[in-house]
Amino acid sequence: MRCLIIRVVFSCKNMSNLRVLGVLLLLLNSRKLQGCKKAKVNALVDGNKDALKEGGSGHIAAHTFTFRELAAATRNFRPDCLIGEGGFGRVYKGRLESTNQIVAIKQLDRNGLQGNREFLVEVLMLSLLHHSNLVNLIGYCADGDQRLLVYEYMTLGSLEDHLHDLPPDRRQLDWSTRMKIAAGAAKGLEYLHDKASPPVIYRDLKCSNILLDEEYNPKLSDFGLAKLGPVGDKTHVSTRVMGTYGYCAPEYAMTGQLTLKSDVYSFGVVLLEIITGRKAIDNSKAGGEHNLVAWARPLFKDRRKFSQMADPVLQGQYPVRGLYQALAVAAMCVQEQPTLRPLIADVVTALSYLASQKFDPECQAVRNSRSGSSTPRNRR
């Protein structure tokens, strides 16, 4: 199998980086490869690096770590180093002894074969894709049956940590910060859709996968479910339905047909969460309000109700026109028909403008006092 991997990789060295990845992903579907051990995993990743270097790319920088190094970095994965847990496994904060760098170390849950495939996809994807709004992969470990990924440490955690179930000591996100995060996340998605060749469908866009640095700059993370998008005459990619309930586009959930517009729908759900402060799915809500999109759709039809959709913790501290425009973008993204959804480039344009309009609460108060009401007027 190792020889087969190397042979295929080097036979593809004249193809674009992501086309090489496409061939490798075909290999990942092999049952023989799904049970591969350390040597075969490293042969796959390192062979891919060599092929890309010969093809003219010098941007492959993922480092190979030993399990001993990462155990030392996390003090043997002590519970007080644990900072998160998800479908892939547990995430620990650690310090690399060789560089003294603070990192996030994600350890694969070894139960099941799917995680191993996601591990390989993520290593390859993040070795090939580089953008300021994508999380930076520092390296990986494939010692024995151990599978770990090492990322740059994102100081403020995930967007989810700042929107839902906040502890009393955590500051609320103001309107300007929310628009900054939304615009940055959209730019990361735009890179995957429009700059990567062939395009990449993220397939797992949600608030918990948007990480924030100390200045609230967002970065997309967790690329284990990413797929190469359709090329040429193809309109979609057929695949097993994966992702998170509440974020999946309806046509993808029903048919398994995946397109770039599937990601746009997921982004629309995230944008609604940013605006409203509600969860995509919240079973604690009253009947009819469990599903965020289902709750929002009737309200989209009446601009007089737009102010009811703003997160109550904002306490009216937002630009009324900005709220209307942001909700309009979200409404277009979550259209049931994928052809009616905008391109992500158009979403970036709209949200970048909104992010550039810095909101001043004092000016808003003056305008409200002059109008004699804090309730937005209906424009004709």
Annotated binding site: 106
Cα separation of 186 and 195, whole Å?
Answer: 13
* pTM of the model as a whole: 0.82
Cα separation of 259 and 234, whole Å?
Answer: 10
pLDDT for the residue 112: 47
Q: What is the mean pLDDT of residues 116-132?
A: 86
User: Is residue 161 predicted with pLDDT exceeding 80?
Assistant: yes
C-alpha angle with apex 190: 235 to 247, nearest 5 degrees? 70
Cα separation of 248 and 372, whole Å?
Answer: 43
Fold agreement between 1-153 and 160-371: no
Cα separation of 317 and 31, whole Å?
Answer: 55
Q: Which helix (H) or strand (E) holds 250?
A: helix 250-255
Residue 6 near residue 47 (C-beta atoms within 8 A): yes
Burial class (CB in 10 A: 0-12, 13-18, 19+), 324: middle
Six-digit token pair at 223?
A: 């690329």
Lowest-confidence segment of 1-10, 20-29, 275-284, 321-330 by average pLDDT: 1-10
Annotated binding site for ATP: 106
Residue 55 near residue 62 (C-beta atoms within 8 A): no
201: left (phi over 0), alpha (psi -120 to 50) or beta: beta
pLDDT for the residue 49: 43
Q: What is the mean pLDDT of residues 100-106?
A: 95
Active site residues: 204
pLDDT for the residue 322: 96
pLDDT for the residue 162: 95
Cα separation of 209 and 135, whole Å?
Answer: 10
Cα separation of 45 and 52, whole Å?
Answer: 11
Six-digit token pair at 202?
A: 């993220």
The CATH fold assigned to 1-153 is Phosphorylase Kinase; domain 1 (3.30.200)
DSSP letter at 74 equals: T
Lowest-confidence segment of 47-51, 68-72, 251-255 by average pLDDT: 47-51
User: Is residue 95 predicted with pLDDT exceeding 90?
Assistant: yes
Domain ranges in the chain are 1-153, 160-371
Q: What is the mean pLDDT of residues 68-96?
A: 91
Burial letters 34-67, b for 16+ CB under 10 A, else e: eebebebbbbbbbbbbebbeeeeeeebebebbeb
pLDDT band at 29 (very low <50, low <70, confident <90, very high): very low
C-alpha angle with apex 152: 248 to 150, nearest 5 degrees? 80
Percent helix, strand and coil across the chain, each to the nearest 5: 45, 15, 40
pLDDT band at 16 (very low <50, low <70, confident <90, very high): low
pLDDT tens-digit map of 40-69: 445 444 444 443 333 334 444 578 999 999
Residue 227 near residue 204 (C-beta atoms within 8 A): no
DSSP for 317-346 reads: -S-HHHHHHHHHHHHHHT-SSGGGSPPHHH
Class for the domain spanning 160-371: mainly alpha
